[in-house]
Amino acid sequence: MHTFIIDHFACQRAHKRFLWNTITGLGWAFWIYLWLPLLHAIGMLLVPHHEQATTEAFHSIQELFTTLTTHLSMTVLMIAAFLAWASLQWLVMARRRRTVQKQPIIRLHRVLQFMPDEQHVNTWRQAQRMVVVHDEESGLIQQVDIL
């Protein structure tokens, strides 16, 4: 059994490995950046000047919560934008599907060189797969075979 190339990181192209490592490094840097205020607060609590350390630690923790709130709001905003985009795409595709389903197959006789009778049209409606042979130059349908 062959494994996918995605499972073999060393077999991928150099620019993809570089890009993936860069994105991973940026992710870790961002993760550490988020925790810097808390690490600063812990560091301030370990300082011998206890009164000043607690107020600075408190301000550092407030800064952490401000940063996390800002990032959370941006994340929620990005998720909302993605969901709006996905909903719009879904609505467009649903509208296209309804439009295609509303178009009767009888309109097909306009581009056919032969006039289909009602039996052919009913057979086409029930068919799941058809092979349509058409003229390369004019584009007119010459024959419809049902599989």
**Per-residue pLDDT reduced to its tens digit, 24-81:** 999 999 888 888 878 877 777 777 766 666 777 777 778 878 888 888 999 999 999 9
pLDDT-derived band at 119, boundaries 50, 70, 90: confident
pLDDT at 2: 61
> Is this prediction's pTM over 0.85?
no
Q: Please indicate whether residue 107 or residue 19 has the higher confidence score (pLDDT).
A: 19
What span, in angstroms and rounded, lies between the C-alpha atoms of 33 and 37? 8
Cα dihedral across residues 24, 26, 27, 28: positive or negative: positive
What span, in angstroms and rounded, lies between the C-alpha atoms of 26 and 68? 17
For the record, the structure tokens of 82 come out as 């993605």
pLDDT at 81: 95
Collapsed DSSP state (helix, strand, coil) of residue 138? coil
User: In Å, how far from its chain's centre is CA 89?
Assistant: 11
Cα dihedral across residues 81, 83, 86, 92: positive or negative: negative
